[in-house]
Structure 1
Amino acid sequence: MPNPSNRPNILFFFPDQLRFDWIGSNPDIAVRTPNLDRLEKNGATFSKTVCPAPVCAPSRACVAAGTEYDNCPVKGNSDDYPTDRATVYSMLRDSGYHTLGCGKFDLNKGTCTSNLPAWGLDGKRHLNEWGFSDGINNEGKIDGANSGREKPQGPYLQYLEERGLRQIHLNDFANRKGQRSTFATPLPDDAYCDNWIGQNGRDLIQSVPEGKPWFIQVNFNGPHLPLDITESMAKLYEGVDFPQPNRNDQLTPDELLEARRNYSAMVENIDHQVGLYLDLLEERGELDNTLIVFSSDHGEMLGDHNSWGKGKPLHPSASVPLVISGPGVQQGITHDLPTTNLDLTATFLDYADLDIPDDMDSRSLRNLLEGNTSTHRDIVLSGLGNWRMAYDGRYKYIEGFGDTSMLFDLDTDPLENNNIIDDPGVSAHIERLKAELI
């Protein structure tokens, strides 16, 4: 039921590994996302958004803490978020929000990859320490398959076990050999992990105590690889063409096309789940008082530059979609300013009428969203391991990645094929961007 507070509910979709350009509003890609299109029409789209660190655990930890990668306690997928450190979730909960979450959080990724108990069969291990009132933290695709060979270690494999599907799922994953494995999973649609996650989140919303504002983060496992899709999803893009990757000689054109079709099917399936949430909010009378955010922890190379996955400072890996709609947000606006989804942390606190801690690097987008300003950041940052990147919306400077520093002009070279670091006349851009990394 609607809460009597003026503070909005917050619905945060945070899928795993969805690149910035693989959404329906991009006319160059045939993927269909009608529900995300609806959010864009009713809200604001940020077309030049990076993540603070293009790999799962650090990126999600940066958002939880509101800090840039250099100030984040999680530096890689072998680290756990300190359970004694505050999160945006604990701040919201302490202020009266009913904080919920479902899907793959990866805030204890180090434990998830160490064969130690990580999630609990009910998915509630560490949720209280992270600041959640309730939720279900489930295994990622690979972590679940690796940890659940002998018996389930987390809630999704436990769910499959109870339905007699765990071994079928494990056999399917064992047969997948990289990006060439585009065959459909034998799992039924309702047992497919993203659909299960989506239902869990909607059930959690229905459990909110009457009169309390709520926050929920929905962490879909997709469209992270492997390219597993159901039989019905496999039909979505039969015969649909997609552009070939930029600079890829690893697979045949047909293999690359099939990989992109499967990736698109995972994206459209997530979009369908988004639509089910919008339907639920309408039924509950909460759509007009809910801030809705759609982004991703990082992108996916998807074959570009002979690469798959993430971890690189290049745009397909480090750039993500960002769409925000809700009360007071200007509608149908596209912002071309450089943005980082790190700024969601402060934005959530701002909409909850909370002070933003001085030690946070995150900056609220609220004034920009509501049309009270046309400025935000001039330069945004990303980093991982030894490399750092600074991006001003046109020029991208990278150091520590490869044998030489890099400078790309995304206006003239959107595919990042030409390093202009040694070109005449670019020294001022290098100095300006490099200064942000010091």
Structure 2
Amino acid sequence: MAAWAAVVKKGLTKAGKAVGQKALSKATEATKRFQWRPFVLPLLTMIVLIPALVIFFFVQVLYNQFVNDAEASATSGTSSVIGTKGINEAVLKWKDEMMAAMAKPKPECAGKSDCGPMFTPDEIQQLIPYILALTMAESGGNVPNGDIMQSSESMCGGKMGCITDPITSIKYGIEHFYKVWIEVKDRAAKTNNSQVNNFDNIIKITLQSYNFGSGFTGFAFANGAIYSEELAKKFALKHATRSDCGWRSPYCYGNFKYVEKVFEFLDFSSSGSQQVVQNGNLPTLQSAKSNFSPEGQSVIDPTGTGGNVTPRLAAMYNGVKSNNLFNHSVSCWGNRTWGEHPKGRACDFMFRFGENSNSSSELAEAQKMITYLLQNQEKFGIYYIIWQNKIWSTKDPTRWRQYEFKSGSVDCTKPGSGQQYNTLCHNDHIHVSVY
């Protein structure tokens, strides 16, 4: 019995150990399953969601590039920045000489072989109309001594009449314009004020300083830094040595209407060369130019964003503003990674941010502005315009197409509302892109 009991005991012990080990193994597996279970769902979500987000972002970028990129063709020629009017042959015959003078080395770098030009090619194209208009205002090209830009004082330290030929007059006139232009631009950039640091204000202070002398630049920036005829009058009155000078009295120093006089020879007319077809609120063209040469971002954004834009875009903006076609917020250059804005080739003309700007007055204002842009499509190099869920493009200039933009819950092909919808579908602003 004792031996049998021992055998039974041994068997039970072995069986007990086996059962215990099996139970322990199952318990360990259960514990492991229990420990990992809270992390399984988040882990699977991340595995699925991250690639999906990457794909969505990539597709969105490609779509935005497709909608917003303007493909500039590398062909010859440049578009005119603005037009001129009333420039006579006595001035116009010196245009090439003026442009050549603008491309010469900076005067402060005399004798240095690595000095850059006073003006870049884009700046020359942008500013030559002002130089021609300035020369018309100064002399009309018809002066006995040949000083067509009236620059003797610049050459001879304040003395008049020392220049006797047009070539020398142009040389010192361009240098004087350059020095004033650079000083005004530098001062304006330091203000961080979009009302000061924009092309319209800079060119006006530059022109008035050409007439008054560079002292007006310091005076302007010490007194608000925004050009006005009243500011010019104050400077003229301060420096006048007499009080009777005909129509200028008592502002008997220089010409306080000099900017106005120069602008008489600049064409900001809304009548372009292209025939517009009116289709309700959205005018179109029978044909449009699409082969434009590329331009660099050589012009300070006139809307004061702190970036640079192309001469074409600056010309388009200045044309709209000079004709009082849009009197709301405008933003051109944008610090982003896609589209036309960072390339300096697009402006947003904002009516009421986030709201559907479809009142009768807003639609009429938009129609007038878009008509002007299409009339001047070739002049400004207009590529496409987006407004009220529709897009006009040089690719199909005879009609406005549905703007087929989609992003998240926003689908511009379907009715919608809200700030995001109205902005992304361009119900609150007019988007204008140039080549």
More helix by share: 2
Q: Same fold (TM over 0.5)?
A: no
Larger Rg: 2
Bin for the TM-score computed over the shorter chain: under 0.3
- Return the structure number with greater relative CO, CA threshold 8 A, min gap 6: 1
TM-score (norm 1): 0.25
